[in-house]
Amino acid sequence: MITAWTRGLARHRTGRLLAALAGIALAVGLVAALGSFLTASKATMTQRAVRSVAVDWQVQVQPGADPNSVLSLVRSAPGTRAAVPVGYARTSGFTARVQGSTQTTGPGMALGLPDGYRALFPDAIRTLSGSSTGVLLAQQTASNLHAAPGDTITVRLPGAGTRQVKVDGVVDLPQADSLFQTVGAPSQSQPTAPPDNVVLLPAARFAALTHGSTGATTQIHAARDTTRLPSDPAAAYTAVTGAARNLEARSSGAALVGNNLGAALDSARQDALYAQILFLFLGVPGAVLAAALTAAVASAGSERRRQEQGLLRLRGLRPRQITTLAGLEAALIGLTGGMTGLGIAALTGHLAFGSASFGAGASTWAAWYGIAFVLGAAVAAAAVLFPALRDLRAVTVAETRKEAGARSTRSPWWMRYGLDFAVLICSWLVFRASSGNQYALVLAPEGVPSISVSYWAFLGPALLWIGAALLLWRLTLLALTHGRPALARLARPLTATLAGTTAATLSRRRRPLARSVVLLALAVSFALSTAVFNATYQQQAEVDARLTNGADVTVTEPPGARIPPGAAGSLRVSGVRHVEPLQHRFAYVGPDLQDLYGVHPDTIAQATSLQDAYFAGGTAQQLMSKLAQRPDNLLVSVETVNDFQLAPGDTVNLRIQDARTKALRTVPFHYAGIAKEFPTAPKDSFFVANASYIAKATGSDAVGAFLLDTGGTHQKQIAAQLRAKLGTGATVTDLTQTRGTVGTSLTSVDLAGLTRIELAFAVLLAAGAGGLVLALGLAERRRTFALATVLGARSGQLRGMVLTEALLLAAAGLAGGAAIGWALSEMLVKVLTGVFDPPPSSLAVPGAYLALTASAALLAVLTAALNGIRRARRPAVEELRDL
């Protein structure tokens, strides 16, 4: 019997089985792909964090401790690959006499590096010119002294007098912040910037120069074996910090560990939290939707399945046998659909990431595939087996012969109790509460970034999705129940005299049709919200990179350099469309020292983008016009406005250094607006003013940076050309370089990879929701079409009936999905405000992708309709005989 039943299902219910298999496959494929991607992303975060660190540990030898004993202790610590001592000594200043002029700098640092240091820590030092060994001068110091390889400089050491050394090379210190950190000090007390003046010496030369000097200390720089770290950044962080604490405990107070590797992994574990958030709020809705699609596909044949069960009961089959047959169908759907879904996930991973495992480890990859397969089996059981068990207990044989409309005419329970309105109200309340508290994912108390995730804030978008779906269901049912005259008028151009019959049919089938509309709307809203979030993030990531770098290419002059605006002409190399000079000074307002930027209001926008979101009190264009119309106008930061209780038009007296006397002089400005962000400016406090007014007040038009517009192309090549031209005299950065180093933690999640998975499945879900359920519904109504043909309906009228239903489904589903998706996008971006830096002034709409999604849904609906029309053309006698 089981074999015969299986053959019958495969032969006569092929379409229904394939549709259910497709739903299961989508659910399993999406979960397997997203889960594997999540695990692979975490492993990638760990690898990136490890690669970003030049020196894993900087172990500070405490006063009175023996450096050699600490060195032995570090080398013997489990996981230490290598460790070397590095000397640190403070200098009183540097002096150089070059080409007849003498240059002197302020205090700095001298470092003593042992042989092989650069081979052990290759990313700590980058050679710019000259030799890579010997006495090396930091780029900023070389610029301050106008020194080059071969020049002799004088180093002043407290307690040891002056020493002369010959410069062998000029280098850059990419991770100077950590190299000169105060080990053991709270992060809030760390220096705001590394020293400008640094000389690197061989260890023996350093020991000779600093003999007798006060304030010399020793650090042990250690490289750790990171190949055995757990792939999850949180677990790796725990392992690394535990090893550091163990070393400190064994040293008995002789050593403090500056755990650079732990700090990088700490940031990475925050990135992992973002990945989990995205998995929940961009991935789970898709999986739920795929499961709902499977349930809808199964329910499309529920009437026939119920009638078949009644027939089996009449023929004497026991409940256990009927349950076995239902379980067989569920197992067939679950097993085949699950295996197909795993194949889809593997193919997705191979196409998008070059690996079926998405780059995840074998164990975690297999675990997610197993979870997804079990989920598919559970969905199949819930869609096929559980309804059969319910009908066995609650439905008599006589009731199985009735149609659904005859069995139940009451509204669903959730409509009677107004569940949709209650859910939407709760969504609004949660959203208002989280927005009212100015909830943000990323907090920065006292300038120290930290993670703050409150999952209840995401309850708002989740409730909106559910409540909007229920409300659309209610509205569709009401329209189909009470809108028969309107439906008849709409159907008349396609069905002629059968317009009334078509309207009555649609009204009678309002429940399955409403379910189809809601499924299509949810699929479209899922695609729209995911695509808008992705496009908005990409837009803001570009804004953030441009905000940090300033322009396509930025040439930053060293502090104290007197470069006039006219030097812009020398930067107009091939590919540069515009060069904009930007002043950078410092000014006191009260006791606070803040950055001051002088701009040319009429031309600044030609080199960099000024978004309205950067400002308050007017648009970017309006505030630049204010600076141009009144030169003494000033844009200030929000923090300064709050601290000094400023009102528009107030006089703000800034103390700025006069270039002629080197003394501070008071310069009056007028508060004209707020600059929340500005290209190259810090994120806390700064001023933006008219460059001509600053030059007149200080007696200098010296430029701090040049912003170069390259038209958005060839930034890397132009930057390389300028570096070769300018040498070590200026710092050249380009937008492509900055994109990889700035942005929020979300960049480490590889949002582009995540959304490639999401958007591909969203198109498939939209097509499935639009076409599968309609196709199965039409297939189940072949008897209706056959009877209509017998009663005299022409083929054109039958075609009109099918097209009317298809067009109604498509129009209502797409319109409802657009409304839900837009509302969900607005709320989701608002909830995830902390991810965007700066927050977007408007959402980015990926028109091409949304057009593709809508086209796929329409194509699926029309394909289902045309197939239904083709089936309706069969001779009525043959159709009735088969049924």
For 339-358, write each residue's pLDDT tens digit. Answer: 998 888 888 777 766 666 66
Across 253-261, average pLDDT: 92
**Does residue 79 have a pLDDT over 50?**
yes
**Does residue 575 have a pLDDT over 50?**
yes
Q: How far apart are alpha carbons 33 and 355 in whole angstroms?
A: 11
**Using an 8 Å Cβ cutoff, are 444 and 450 in contact?**
yes
C-beta pairs of 191-196 under 8 Å, 24+ apart in sequence: 195/107, 195/108, 195/109, 196/105, 196/106, 196/108, 196/138, 196/140, 196/141, 196/144, 196/559
pLDDT for residue 389:
75
Between 185-194, 321-330, 837-846, 860-869, the lowest mean confidence (pLDDT) is in 185-194
C-beta pairs of 88-92 under 8 Å, 24+ apart in sequence: 88/112, 88/216, 88/217, 88/218, 88/219, 89/157, 89/206, 89/210, 89/213, 89/215, 89/216, 89/217, 90/158, 90/215, 91/155, 91/156, 91/157, 91/158, 91/197, 91/199, 92/156, 92/157, 92/158
Write the DSSP symbol of residue 883.
Answer: -
Task: Provide the CB-side half-sphere exposure for 206 (13 A, CA).
Answer: 26
Task: Annotate 123-151 with three-state secondary structure.
Answer: CCCEEEEECCCCCEEEHHHHHHHCCCCCC
pLDDT for residue 111:
94
Assign 361 a pLDDT band (cuts: 50, 70, 90).
low
Helices (H), 674-794: 691-698, 715-726, 735-739, 751-780, 782-790
**Does residue 709 have a pLDDT over 50?**
yes
The continuous run of DSSP H or E covering 594 comes out as strand 592-599
pLDDT for residue 498:
80
pLDDT for residue 190:
46
β-strand 198-202 against 108-113: which pairing, if any?
parallel
Of 744 and 818, the structure prediction assigns the larger pLDDT to 818
Average pLDDT over the chain, rounded to whole?
A: 81
**Does residue 122 have a pLDDT over 70?**
yes
Of 400 and 252, the structure prediction assigns the larger pLDDT to 252
C-beta pairs of 664-669 under 8 Å, 24+ apart in sequence: 664/588, 665/697, 665/698, 667/587, 667/694, 667/697, 667/698, 668/632, 669/632, 669/633, 669/634
Across 513-523, average pLDDT: 87
Between 331-335, 469-473, 711-715, 738-742, the lowest mean confidence (pLDDT) is in 738-742
Assign 293 a pLDDT band (cuts: 50, 70, 90).
confident
Q: Where would I find the beta strands (DSSP E) of 46-186?
A: 57-61, 80-91, 93-98, 101-104, 108-113, 126-130, 136-138, 152-157, 161-166, 169-172
Q: Would you tell me how many other CB atoms lie within 10 Å of the CB of residue 306?
A: 21
pLDDT for residue 187:
47
Of 325 and 578, the structure prediction assigns the larger pLDDT to 578
For 782-804, write each residue's pLDDT tens digit. Answer: 666 666 666 666 777 777 888 88
Between 334-348, 361-375, 488-502, the lowest mean confidence (pLDDT) is in 361-375
Assign 691 a pLDDT band (cuts: 50, 70, 90).
very high
Across 416-428, average pLDDT: 91
Write the DSSP symbol of residue 631.
Answer: T
pLDDT for residue 147:
85
**Does residue 244 have a pLDDT over 90?**
yes
Highest mean pLDDT among 2-11, 31-40, 404-413, 739-748: 31-40
Assign 871 a pLDDT band (cuts: 50, 70, 90).
low
Sort 814 into a burial class: Cβ within 10 Å, 0-12 / 13-18 / 19+: buried
DSSP code string of 244-280: HHHHHHHTTTSEEEEEHHHHHHHHHHHHHHHHHHHII
Q: How far apart are alpha carbons 682 and 822 in whole angstroms?
A: 34
Q: Looking up tokens 């960049």, which residue turns up? A: 747
List strands edge to edge, sheet with 101-104. 101-104, 93-98, 152-157, 161-166
**Using an 8 Å Cβ cutoff, are 524 and 818 in contact?**
yes
pTM, whole model, 2 decimals? 0.71
Which residue, among 347, 346, 340, has the nearest Cα to 373 in the 3D structure? Answer: 340
Highest mean pLDDT among 246-260, 738-752, 852-866: 246-260
pLDDT for residue 636:
93
Task: Annotate 206-220 with three-state secondary structure.
Answer: HHHHCCCCCCCEEEE
Assign 750 a pLDDT band (cuts: 50, 70, 90).
low
Across 807-812, average pLDDT: 90
**Does residue 654 have a pLDDT over 80?**
yes
Q: How far apart are alpha carbons 368 and 883 in whole angstroms?
A: 43
Which residue, among 207, 220, 194, has the nearest Cα to 140 in the 3D structure? Answer: 194
Of 171 and 296, the structure prediction assigns the larger pLDDT to 171
Of 469 and 737, the structure prediction assigns the larger pLDDT to 469
pLDDT for residue 743:
46
**Which amino acid is located at 665 in the chain?**
R
Helix axes 510-549, 751-780, angle to 10 degrees: 170
SS3 content of the chain, % helix, strand, coil (to 5): 60, 15, 25
Burial 34-71 (b: 16+ CB within 10 A, else e): bbbbbbbbbbbbbbbbbebbbbbbbbbbbeebebeebb
Token readout for 867 is 């197939």
- How far separated are the first and last CA of the chain, in Å rounded? 22
Q: Looking up tokens 């869609």, which residue turns up? A: 383
Of 447 and 717, the structure prediction assigns the larger pLDDT to 717
Q: How far apart are alpha carbons 603 and 607 in whole angstroms?
A: 8
